[in-house]
Amino acid sequence: MSTIDELFTNLRAAGRKALMPFITAGDPDVEFSASLLAELIRQGCHMCEVGIPYSDPIADGPVIQASYTRALDNRVRLEQILEMLADVTPKLNAPVVTMTSYAIISRQAEERYVDSIAEAGIAGIIAPDLPVEESARLAKICAARDISLIQLVTPTTPRERTLRIAETSTGFLYYVSVTGITGERTELPAELVDNVAWLREQTSLPICIGFGISDPEHVRMLAPVADGLIVGSAIVRRIAAGQDDPREAVLKDIGNYVSTLLSELSVA
| Active-site residue identified among 5, 39, 60, 184 | 60
Q: What is the DSSP string of 13-54?
A: HHT--EEEEEEETTSS-HHHHHHHHHHHHHHT---EEEE---
Give the Å distances, CA to CA, from 142 to 53, 115, 147, 150.
21, 9, 5, 10
Cα dihedral 215, 67, 87, 44 in deg (nearest 10): 0
| Active-site residue identified among 27, 49, 184, 227 | 49
Q: Is 60 a catalytic residue?
A: yes
Count of C-beta atoms within a 10 Å radius of residue 56: 10
Which long-range contacts does 126-129 make (Cβ < 8 Å, 24+ apart)?
Answer: 126/49, 126/97, 126/98, 126/99, 126/100, 126/150, 126/151, 126/152, 126/174, 127/100, 127/101, 127/102, 128/58, 128/59, 128/99, 128/101, 128/152, 129/58, 129/101, 129/102, 129/103
Q: Is 27 a catalytic residue?
A: no
Catalytically active residues, by annotation: 49, 60
